[in-house]
Amino acid sequence: MAAVNADTWATELGVLSPTSPRLITTGQRVPAGTSGGVTALGTLAAFAGGLLIGLTALVLGQVEAMWGSGALDGGYLWLVPVGVLAGLAGSTFDSLLGATAQGIYYCPRCQSETEARRHRCGQPTRHLRGWRWLNNDVVNFSNSIVGSLLAGFLGWLIF
């Protein structure tokens, strides 16, 4: 959950960045909205998106602890950094796929790149690069798998 939330926040808030994004693979400046482009604001948003899920998990853990023993339980504190790290890992993986293998299309009407076969303006797009089967849904699913594996691994390290 931290991974997909972090990626959503990074995508939605990252486009508000005052500076143009850099491609995560080469560092080259790219237009806002380009798949695989990253900004400081987007990364901060990913951090906050993961943090929110980590804090939510902590609060739910405390509710469960209060319900059971009537006392707070510090044993849930690890959920906060794990949420942040899983969020950053998932959204970074999402950007890496967006810059490399994800199917990217071009809208001739808007003259912009998009991840959709039909642009939001209604115009059918043409394939530009990447694997067609690796669409946004598959990328988001992979992102949540990466976040989950990292969170599981961190949990294993901690316990």
**Interface residue list for Zn ion (CB under 5 A):** 107, 109-110, 119, 121, 123
**Burial status of residue 146 (CB atoms within 10 A of its CB: 0-12, 13-18, 19 or more):** buried
Beta carbon of residue 33, minimum distance to Zn ion (angstroms, whole number): 11
> Order of strands, edge to edge, in the sheet holding 112-114?
112-114, 104-107, 126-129
SS3 for 72-103 is CCHHHCCHHHHHHHHHHHHHHHHHHHHHCCEC
Nearer to Zn ion by Cβ, of 72 and 127: the residue is: 127
Q: How far is the CB of 113 from Zn ion (least distance, A)?
A: 10
Quick one: 18 or 120, whose CB is closer to Zn ion?
120
Query: Could you tell me the smallest distance in angstroms from the CB atom of residue 32 to Zn ion?
Result: 15
30 vs 45, beta carbon nearer Zn ion: 30
Give the separation between CA 46 and CA 69, rounded to whole angstroms.
34
Minimum CB–partner distance for residue 11 and Zn ion (Å): 18
Residue 64 or 118: the one with the smaller Cβ distance to Zn ion is: 118
